[in-house]
Amino acid sequence: MAGNRATKILSVKDQIAEQLRSDIISGEMPPQTKLNEKELAERFGLSRGPIRDVILQLTKEGLLISRNNCGASVNSVLEPKLQRLMIKLRRSIEEYAITELNGNLTDQNIAELESILVSLQDALDREDYTEVTKIDISFHQYLIYQAGGEELVNIWYPYVMRMRLNYKRITSSSECVNEHRAILEALKAQDSAAAVKAVKHNIK
Amino acid sequence: MAGNRATKILSVKDQIAEQLRSDIISGEMPPQTKLNEKELAERFGLSRGPIRDVILQLTKEGLLISRNNCGASVNSVLEPKLQRLMIKLRRSIEEYAITELNGNLTDQNIAELESILVSLQDALDREDYTEVTKIDISFHQYLIYQAGGEELVNIWYPYVMRMRLNYKRITSSSECVNEHRAILEALKAQDSAAAVKAVKHNIK
DNA sequence: CTGTTGTAATGTGTTAACAATAGACCATTC
DNA sequence: GAATGGTCTATTGTTAACACATTACAACAG
């Protein structure tokens, strides 16, 4: 066979959304930055239609804030109280996922998670912190998806995005890999309690 | 002055979203129902553009499910495990809101909440259960908005919608008003613990 | 100088036509 | 008869032009 991992086909809109999320999370588009539809359309070589769709999507995710007839801009950070609530909610979701997954991961699942950790270490070595963030997220997303499918990912995603928005800069310690490895090891050992603990320790 | 309550100006898209949500929650559009853009456009006397926006929005809310090039359909009910998770998450949010609000409600806030309860009783008397549901939601939404603004409403809303989708038919006991009155009374008495308890009892 | 009103420029909301895709139907082949 | 392949239609994705709202700024009255 020509490769185990299925090559992901992303729709045009998903790719643009991904790009904009990167720009926002990386700090390239700080809060309050206004988005101009025409400008973005030209940048991506599209018309305004798909761009509008993406803006709507990111607004629902909480990354952007839109007002009627006034356009969209990058959302500002949450006040601390709301941020704490979001962390609590995200932890609840990930705790659920871990508990569901315990004992239900296939060897291939484990292998894919291992491979994500390798990429993570690699990005850290290259000091590509935007990529680090994306891989970090994809590790969690993999677990969430396995536990609850697209449905669960959809409710989980906004919390991650909002949290990332609040950490203006990555705390790029090598702790990052260790923390994720701890989660994976606990899952491999089917030690649910340890896995939950490791996840909670990682989300902060 | 010509009236205390500000008349809400809803954008065209918001009105259509509202209508579609009603149709879905009322059971008029049961799960798996396919949405046809052209059809909807004609029904609302618009072009397909705004309709597509609304569909995207409701998809993000979890009411619809969309596939590339295949259109959108009404989402099916959640599996019980995920439903329990959603209830837990919604309770966390409402608990947060109640706690934040305790002692911070103005007389006007109280009056507006009272007036919502009157409408609720009225809709119950008329046996207009779709309206009951909407007013029920608006009571909670009022509290959520006061506590955390639009931001909090946006993360809270999907849970309510998904939960409503799962209760195919309204459990339209007159308990409904009582339960909400209990919340309001506890808030008036600034009894945070009682208010939280009442809210948790109402969300199920 | 201050506040108000009108106007122009910018950008968003909407539309209708066009392109591309998915799904159904039918014919053909083995 | 089952499977493969090719039209054909219905529906979604995209585009570009147009309608409308908002903002900023300039002219003006008090």
Segment A15-39, tens digit of pLDDT = 999 999 999 988 899 999 999 999 9
CB contact under 8 A, B60 and A61: yes
pLDDT of residue B167: 77
A11, two tokens: 């729709």
Is the per-residue pLDDT at A1 higher than 90? no
Q: What is the mean pLDDT of chain A?
A: 91
Collect all residues with Cβ–Cβ distance below 8 Å to B142 and sequence separation of at least 6: B109, B112, B113, B116
Per-residue model confidence as pLDDT tens digits over B112-132: 999 999 999 999 999 888 889
Q: What does the pLDDT average to over B27-35?
A: 93
A155 contacts in B (CB within 8 Å)?
Answer: 62, 86, 89, 158-159
Residue B174 Cα distances to A114, B117, B155, B177, angstroms: 55, 12, 29, 6
pLDDT at A6: 55
Regarding predicted confidence, which is higher, A8 or A16?
A16
pLDDT score at A169? 59
Asked if B50 and B58 count as a contact pair (C-beta separation under 8 A), the reply is: no
Predicted confidence (pLDDT) per residue in A92-146, tens digit: 999 999 999 988 999 999 999 999 999 999 999 998 888 898 999 999 999 999 9
Beta strands in chain A (DSSP E): 34-35, 64-67, 71-74
pLDDT above 70 (res B80): yes
pTM: 0.90
In chain A, the domains with their CATH numbers are 12-74 (1.10.10.10), 80-202 (1.20.120.530)
Locate A57 and state its tokens: 């999507």
Q: Taking residues B26-35, what's their average pLDDT?
A: 93
The whole-angstrom distance between B53's CA and the closest CA on chain A is 7
Query: Given A11, A85, A152, which is nearest B96 (Cβ)?
Result: A85
Q: Which amino acid is at B132?
A: V
Q: Identify how many contiguous H helices and E strands chain B contains and give both numbers.
A: 8, 3
For residue A89, list chain B residues with Cβ-Cβ distance below 8 A: 89, 92-93, 155
